[in-house]
Each structure stands twice: as C-alpha cells, then as structure tokens.
Structure 1
Amino acid sequence: MNVEPKPIPAGETTRSAEERIAARDWPALATELDDYGCAIIDSLLTPEECAEIAALYPHEEHFRSHIHMARHGFGKGEYRYFRYPLPDLIVGLRTALYPRLAPIANAWNERMGVDARYPQSHADFLKLCHEAGQTRPTPLLLQYVPGDFNCLHQDLYGDLAFPLQVAVLLSEPGRDFTGGEFVLTEQRPRMQSRAEVVPLRQGDAVAFAVHNRPVNGSRGVYRVNLRHGVSRLRSGRRHTLGIIFHDAK
C-alpha cells in the first residue's frame, strides 16, 4: 500500500538551498569539472530530504509523464518527469545551482568557440527556453530494481540546452541497493573513449557535462563528447533525482 509522503517544506526551502550551495568550494568544483567533466557535491541533501523526494515516486499527481526505458531502447528501468509547479526543494536546488554553473558553462563555450552565453539567473534562462517553445519541465525521478540499467545517453530535449546538469543519489549504496554505479564516458577525437565511474553516497550530487566540454590539447582546445548512464543494479532499489536546467519541447 502506498502511503502519501509528507509535503516537502516550503518557505525556507529556497534560502536553505542557496545557503548550503553557497558554502561549497566552487573554485575547486569548477576545476574538477574542467579536468574530468564531473564533480561530486557531497551531502547536498539530508537522508530525510532524500526519503521525502523518493517517496513521491508512486504518486502520479506530481508528474507529467512516466517512461519505461525498455520500450524506447534506453535500457531497463523507469523514470517520471515532474510537472509544474515543482516541489519546493527541487525549485530551490535548481534556482541555487544554476548561477554557480552558468559561469562555468559560459567559460566552456568561450573556449570551444560557441557563441551562446547563459544569463546569470535561472528564471531568465527559463524565459529563453519558453520563448523557444521549450516549456515542459525536465527534473525527473528515476527508479531502478534488480537487472535495471540506463544506457549511455545525453539529456538535450531541444535546441536550447544548458551544458551542465546535476544528479542526486537518494538511496544508500550497500544498504538500499548494490551495483547501479553512475558512469560517464568521453569520446575523444582520434583516441579511445575514457570512462569515469563516480562513487556516490546517499544525498551526494554529481554535476556533469550534458554534451560537450573543452579539453586542452597539444594543438589548442578541442571538444570531447560525453554521455552518462547507470550500470546494472544487482540488488535492492535505487532512486535518483535528476536536475536538468533547460525545459523541453
């Protein structure tokens, strides 16, 4: 029997998200993203917050669509896209993370010779998305059970795509599930692909490149193409919150 979860607290949520995110060492996180295409933000959510978000999964009123990966060749598992209005905690995280990531995204585009620049506030960026016809919210909640996995992919959803996104692990490895590692791969020109397995605990987040990132080479800056996925779950149940900053068509 599904039990209705407690509502995620409102009011102080956005300020709390801003405060906890502002306290992080963002120069160090930016260096990690520059060097490896991903960076761990440890203990971004409390265990209680993780449980509150994961408990939303069975309640369809919070979501606009329900995707079974196997039907689309995405892997095996399922996820749900949140509908607007988003839960307050997710709004707070999306709003507070974006201005920390926007300068990194702009620096990457400058290095890669990409003209696009991103405004400092997430509200201004969403306005651009909506003017481009991208109006559907993209934050999502993923659920895996034994045997499930997520194929390597990119979350683009439209012509206007913010080049960084964040995933938060809501379950505790070893206690709630085994297997199910977050995997990131880089396809490098004229070289073998590089894989990165990102170790996360409950409440940890990983910020990572959606599509391309710049890399310094012997002949200047070149682009690498990134994809991300999740390895096969061995046992238990795994929930993940995906925070994507652009909306979808």
Structure 2
Amino acid sequence: MAVHTTIAGPQGEVLRERVAEADWTAVAGELDEHGSAPTPRLLTPEQCRSIAELYDQARHFRSTVDMARYRFGAGQYRYFGQPLPEPVSVLREALYPRLLPIARDWAARLGRPAPWPDTLGEWLERCHAAGQVRSTPILLRYGAGDWNALHRDLYGELVFPLQVVIGLDVSGRDYTGGEFMLVEQRARAQSRGYSTVLEQGHGLVFTTRDRPVRSTRGWSAAPVRHGVSTVRSGTRHTLGLVFHDAS
C-alpha cells in the first residue's frame, strides 16, 4: 500500500505551528511522571466540529466497530480510510517527530530496540512491508451510557509506543462523564489509575503499551491500559491518533 504524504495548505501550516509551539520538554517530563501528558490547544472549536461531523459521512472511513458486539464496552467508533482528511493527516505527521525522541529515550531505558525512523512516512512504509497496511486514525462517538473497556491499541508486531487523543466536544456542556482513563499495573502492588477530562481541541499524549519506571534493578516496563468511563449524558466525540498501521 502506498504511503500518502500530506501536501498541507494554509490550515495545515497553522496546525504544524501549533504542534511546534508546544513545550515538548514539559510533555516528556509529564509522561515520565504519569504516563500521559496534555498538550496545548491543537484544534479550534470550529475544526473540532468539522471533524466530529465527518462521523456521519461514511466515505471517509474504512470500517465501523460496534463496541458492544465485541464486548469492548458500549458505543461506536470508525477507522478513517485513505486518504486521511487533511487535519488528521497533518496532525499525525507533525506529532510523530515530536514524540520520536521520547519513544527512543524510553526504549534506551528499557534496553529495547528503537526501530522508528525519522519520519512517519518511512515508519509507515515499514509497517506496510510487514503486512500492517490498514490505517488506524480513529473517530469515536459515545452517547449516554456508553463506555470503553480498558485496552491497548497494538494492531501488529510493529508498535509506536505513544499515541494521542484529542477532545472534540466540551465536557460539562456537550456531555458529562466520559473521563479518559489510564490504569498502570505496578510490580508487586495494586494497580494505579489516572482519569483526565479532555478539553476541546487539546490533545493527551499517552503510552500505547507500557512505560519505563524505576525499579530496584534500574528500569522496568509497567504495563498500561486505557479506556473511557461511562458517559452520563450527551454525546462525546474524540479523535485518536495511533502512529502504527494495523495488520
């Protein structure tokens, strides 16, 4: 499968500037401390609404998943097909090199290989050569009573260790409940949980699979899963950006 490279117009350049202006040193520090880290606003309210409205336009998506059918929770999400909408593609390409140094640092601490090249295009080519050819950016919609079970978005042997979720609605106005959840398994101890209310247009960077934590023998990998608590009212949309494709 060919890797699509974004030719960004004015909107794309603004998105790249917003990503570049984030304090990525602070993001890395927050990830080290908690396994997740918020970003400044990446999308305007208008852009958030435009992306959320794509959900009802089936031509943009390669598949739709009913979570209850697979016992993933309750609600629905859709995987974008190629070509990706410009804001989705630009954000994915712009975020990858900002997250790459963190990914490589984590791999070094854990004594793991760091197979990720300098650009997203090169990395996706490796995914495709390994049979992971299906796009993974995802648009999720939750209504009252919907939730997402704790899970990890692996999709194949090749995995990028960080991903980003962006809130598209306003908590407390468009919906209530629906906090983003992370649960970290700790060695010889009970699990630790984090909950985050996603602000509209802001991203949350979090670990895909595990993260390095200090142990008595140096560094060890703490498994982490993520999910969404039950939405109490309204409708909640989020954009999920995974940086490896699926088999």
Q: Contact (CA 8 Å) 2:22, 2:40: kept in 1 or not?
A: no
Distance in 2, matches of 1:232 and 1:42, equals 25
Distance in 2, matches of 1:138 and 1:14, equals 20
What's the counterpart of residue 71 of structure 2? 73
What's the counterpart of residue 229 of structure 1? 227
What's the counterpart of residue 111 of structure 1? 109
Output the amino acid matched with 1:195. G
What's the counterpart of residue 120 of structure 2? 122
Output the amino acid matched with 1:161. V
Distance in 1, matches of 2:118 and 2:12, equals 17
Q: Gaps (5+ residues) in structure 2?
A: 1-7
What's the counterpart of residue 32 of structure 2? 34
Q: Contact (CA 8 Å) 1:13, 1:92: kept in 2 or not?
A: no
What's the counterpart of residue 196 of structure 2? 198
Query: What is the Cα deviation at residue 153 of structure 1?
Result: 0.3
Q: Contact (CA 8 Å) 2:18, 2:41: kept in 1 or not?
A: no
Q: Contact (CA 8 Å) 1:14, 1:96: kept in 2 or not?
A: no
1:139 partnered with 2:162? no
Query: What is the Cα deviation at residue 70 of structure 1?
Result: 0.5
What's the counterpart of residue 4 of structure 2? none
The total of aligned residue pairs comes to 241
Give the alignment of 1:85-100 within 5 angstroms: 85-100=83-98
Q: Contact (CA 8 Å) 1:182, 1:231: kept in 2 or not?
A: yes
Output the amino acid matched with 1:167. V
Residues 130-185 of structure 1: CA deviation (Å, up to 9, x unaligned): 11111110001000001000000000000001000000010100110000000001
Q: Gaps (5+ residues) in structure 1?
A: 1-9
Output the amino acid matched with 1:35. E
Q: Contact (CA 8 Å) 1:142, 1:239: kept in 2 or not?
A: yes
Match of 1:209 among 207, 210, 213: 207
Q: Contact (CA 8 Å) 1:109, 1:117: kept in 2 or not?
A: no
Output the amino acid matched with 1:216. R
**Structure-2-length-normalised TM-score:** 0.95
Distance in 2, matches of 1:124 and 1:82, equals 20
Query: What is the Cα deviation at residue 113 of structure 1?
Result: 1.1
- State the 4+ residue runs in structure 1 displaced beyond 6 angstroms: none
Residues 84-121 of structure 1: CA deviation (Å, up to 9, x unaligned): 00000111000000000011001101111112331111
Q: What fraction of aligned residue pairs are identical, expressed as a percent?
A: 53
Distance in 1, matches of 2:186 and 2:11, equals 40
Output the amino acid matched with 2:20. A
Distance in 1, matches of 2:189 and 2:114, equals 28
